[in-house]
A and B are shown apart, each in its own frame.
Chain A
Amino acid sequence: MFDNYFYFLKKLISVLTFNAGYNAKVVVLGATVLGLTAGVVGTFLVLRKRALVSDALAHSTLPGVAVAFLLLSYFGFDAKNTFFLLSGAAVSALFGSFCVSFISSKTRLAEDAAIGAVLSVFFGFGVVLLSIIQGLNIGSEGGIHNFIYGHTASLRAIDVKMIFLLGLFSIIAAALFIKEFSLVCFDPDFAKTDGWPVSLIDYYLMALVVLVTVLGLQTVGLLLVISLLIIPATIGRFWSNSLSKMTVVSALAGALSCYIGASVSSILPNYPAGAVIVLTSGFFFIFSLLFSPVKGVFASMFRRVSLGFRILLDHTLRDFYEEWEFSKTSTAIADFSLSKNKLKISFFQKFSLYFFRYVKKEKDKIYLTEKGVLKAQEAVRNHRIWEEYIAKFGSVDISHVDFSADLAEHVLSPQIVKELEGAIESSTKEIKESLHTLEKN
């Protein structure tokens, strides 16, 4: 049993290190370059909110491939001439993309309807042509099927060279226009008013998408090629807010998914490369969605919880301070103590108060530490500054300021505090009396 796994692992490592024979090397290399290219181009596509246009493009390659095939066999050429078939695919994909923008700009139908209509009608036409080809009994019609679901085994060295060259070309073509792309992606209205040829840039982007789509037909197939464009790009967005970093992450995610997916499928015969590549990228997607430190679910959950936590601590310390104020003792706050059961807080809060060493316990009495005093003063001060500010400038009644100050006091940065001080003419460090009467806890 384990022997099988060891055998599989050994083989996988040899494929991954490009030591498993010429064919596997060619396939894995081609797929990796494809993933890299799709990652780069896809970033702009997704940022331009055109993700699903690529689905229409991919589906509309089918009639092009079929027509190219018919032409080749009619004129007696080798019907497996990949370059010609892919050129046919590119032409009909460009036509499909033109139809989408034509319908959505010249008729009352919205872009979603245009995408759906083009996608299904072109694909339907392709299916009809396929059935005609089957009826003609030419023989090698299996070649076309390879474009639908992808068939990495059909990749030849020359195809990989083509992927390599055209992929490199599209990466450079995208990199040259990164400024224009980012402008059009982030603020198309501004770009338009600033005199940029937005629709021309869009067409340029679409042409690159068509190129990637066509390159991906043999590897992942026309049904799944959009995931190479969309999934890595979405992964990139999880890891960074800067365009260039996003693009790099996306390219790496695409390359890695293809690298792993193609390797696995080259060992296991009934693991279709396209599906495995997509599922691998899906794994990275889910991982990023959950664990990315920038926009991941857990990271934002952690941020939310820690903010809530800070709010609780602030409130507790402020209560302590206000108890001291309320008692009107002449002792300094550092010498003021509360009995242990007077501090009505949860175990969790108590624990963190001790953990951060904001309080100390001496003979059943709780004192603020030096650090605690500072923190409590800051909390009280932020609260009261904000109260005063909104009472003065926000025309909020004094009886209502407490609640809204509770919300804002925790997110006041030192800079904002400084500005507030200027606005209400308070000197630094001074803690004013509360505007409203304090209630005893």
Chain B
Amino acid sequence: MDMYQFLSIDLPPLLTAIFCSLSCALVGNFLLLRKMSLVGDSISHSVLPGIVIAFLLSGTRSSIPIFIGALIFAGISVLLVEVVKKLGKVESGAAMGVVFSLMFASGVFLIEQASARVVDLDADCVLHGQLETIFWFPPKVFSFLSLLNLPYEVFASLLVFCLISILVFIFYKELTLLSFDKELADALGFKPAILNTGFLIIVAASIVISFKAVGTILVIAMLICPPATARLLTDKLKTQIFLSLFFAVLTAIFGYFIAVFLPSFFNLSAVNIAGSISVSSGIFLTLAIFFAPQYGIIGKIKKTKKFAHKVIAEDILGFLFRVSEVSEESTDKLLTKKQLLVPFKGVKIVEKSLANLLKIGDVLKVKNSDGFEFYSLSETGQLRAKNLVRTHRLWEQYLVDEVGVKEDHVHDTAMDLEHFTDEILEDGLAKSVGAKKQDPHGRDIPEKD
């Protein structure tokens, strides 16, 4: 691939896609937080008649009239949704559905009317954008000044991104407040209605500028996916915004790569760029859904599993300790596997938990002369089990004394609580239980080491 070809065919659409993606992701963060993602959906469908009308009136494909027409219809759609919600007492999802499908239908209708008069307007570009049509004749000798000759789409999308960034930067505090606590914003005198209108205008602007590049439906992917990906990775809004911008750029580049470069390696024709950008944003989102460290599904499953193992292991230790407590002879403290597993009937992971305990040495396996295997607590296991049983009995005593639970009802609760109790809580329990040395059932509470 030679440089000239890259500069003329690939660079302009790539830059446009990146800037559009950045604008959308930036405002998308706030849409996501406010659970208004579908407002983006609604606006992006509703601008269609605006674009067609602007096109028919101005007779050109020039961006400015089309931008204005689309923006006006974005405003109209937001207004109409409010009107339908208020006047008809219709739930907001249905109201949006009614309004945007009607507006989209009028757009389709108008396009058909226009194309009947042989006007150069294609319904399909609405679907998959026109990134492919943006190209540039770069100079033979590269200079930074020559970058000014890049197609206007690049500059328009850059300009919109800069404007939106500045606005978000200035009104960051207000937007955050609006996203997290609208009532507080109202009470503090921030005029949420005006803020909200301003916010919707920048949402509309970012949709409209991206519309031509990626089409009406795929712009929704740009709005939602990068912020959603970022949201799965962090709890901090600022981090989320920067991450989403990072993913926006990554998505655009990756999407462009799989649409254009990847097929050319195999001598295939390029696939639709806008579609592949939205697919790649979906890929990143899917990866985050599964592999995000804290909020990913696999991470969550692992965490749950680890915790389940911890609980079962602790219960095994507790069981062995209780058995050794009541055993008079030292051989009684030894349990066969069958005996050990009696209280864990139906618990699938118990074998693995037991194996873990053997591995870390909390439980010992001994063979007697007849070749039978027995299990008992090791020294470390004894210590761990003792603390556990101590916590358990402290809880039982506490529940009886302070909460007023009946003696014969505290065991199960204590069984659950003992796994969540750290040392500070244990000391607190010991303090409130006081000088009592026994639990409600008359068993000794082990001393703390």
A residues whose Cβ falls under 8 Å from a Cβ of B: 46, 49-52, 54-55, 59, 103, 106-110, 112-113, 115-117, 119-128, 130-132, 135, 145, 148-149, 223-224, 226-227, 230-231, 233-234, 237-238, 270-272, 274-276, 278-279, 282, 285, 289, 295, 297
B residues whose Cβ falls under 8 Å from a Cβ of A: 32, 35-38, 40-41, 84, 87-91, 93-98, 101-102, 104-106, 108-109, 112-113, 115-116, 123-124, 127-128, 215, 217-221, 223-225, 228, 231-232, 259, 268-272, 274-279, 281-282, 285, 289, 295, 297
**Docked-complex contact B105 and A275, CB < 8 angstroms:** yes
Q: Which residues of A contact B95 (CB under 8 A)?
A: 234
Given A234-B88, A275-B106, A227–B97 Cβ distance below 8 Å?
A: yes
Tell me the minimal C-beta distance from B312 to chain A in angstroms: 24
Tell me the minimal C-beta distance from A155 to chain B in angstroms: 18
Q: Which residues of A contact B38 (CB under 8 A)?
A: 52, 112, 115-116
**Docked-complex contact B128 and A131, CB < 8 angstroms:** yes
Tell me the minimal C-beta distance from B85 to chain A in angstroms: 11
Tell me the minimal C-beta distance from B235 to chain A in angstroms: 10
Q: Which residues of A contact B37 (CB under 8 A)?
A: 110, 112-113, 115-116
Subset of 6 A-B contacts with CB under 8 Å: A51-B94, A113-B37, A116-B224, A120-B217, A224-B105, A278-B101
5 nearest CB pairs, A to B: A124-B278, A121-B282, A127-B275, A120-B221, A227-B101
Total CB contacts across the A-B interface at under 8 A: 198
**Docked-complex contact B108 and A149, CB < 8 angstroms:** yes
**Docked-complex contact B97 and A279, CB < 8 angstroms:** no
Tell me the minimal C-beta distance from B244 to chain A in angstroms: 12
In whole angstroms, how far apart are the Cα atoms of A147 and B295 in the complex?
38
**Docked-complex contact B289 and A230, CB < 8 angstroms:** no
**Docked-complex contact A274 and B128, CB < 8 angstroms:** no
From DSSP, what is the main secondary structure of chain A's interface residues? Answer: helix
In whole angstroms, how far apart are the Cα atoms of A279 and B107 in the complex?
11
Given A115-B38, A117-B221, A125-B279, A49–B91 Cβ distance below 8 Å?
A: yes
**Docked-complex contact A148 and B105, CB < 8 angstroms:** no
Given A52-B93, A270-B112, A282-B105, A124–B275 Cβ distance below 8 Å?
A: yes
Tell me the minimal C-beta distance from B116 to chain A in angstroms: 4
Q: Which residues of B contact A132 (CB under 8 A)?
A: 271
Beyond contacts A108-B232, A120-B221, A127-B127: 5 other A-B pairs, Cβ-Cβ < 8 A, are A109-B232, A223-B104, A270-B112, A270-B115, A289-B84
Residue from the list B41, B106, B128, B228 in contact with A119, Cβ < 8 A = B41
**Docked-complex contact B108 and A116, CB < 8 angstroms:** no
**Docked-complex contact B297 and A125, CB < 8 angstroms:** no
Closest to A130 in B: B272
In whole angstroms, how far apart are the Cα atoms of A279 and B231 in the complex?
38
In whole angstroms, how far apart are the Cα atoms of A18 and B374 in the complex?
87
In whole angstroms, how far apart are the Cα atoms of A439 and B276 in the complex?
79
In whole angstroms, how far apart are the Cα atoms of A113 and B230 in the complex?
13
**Docked-complex contact A110 and B35, CB < 8 angstroms:** yes
**Docked-complex contact A227 and B232, CB < 8 angstroms:** no
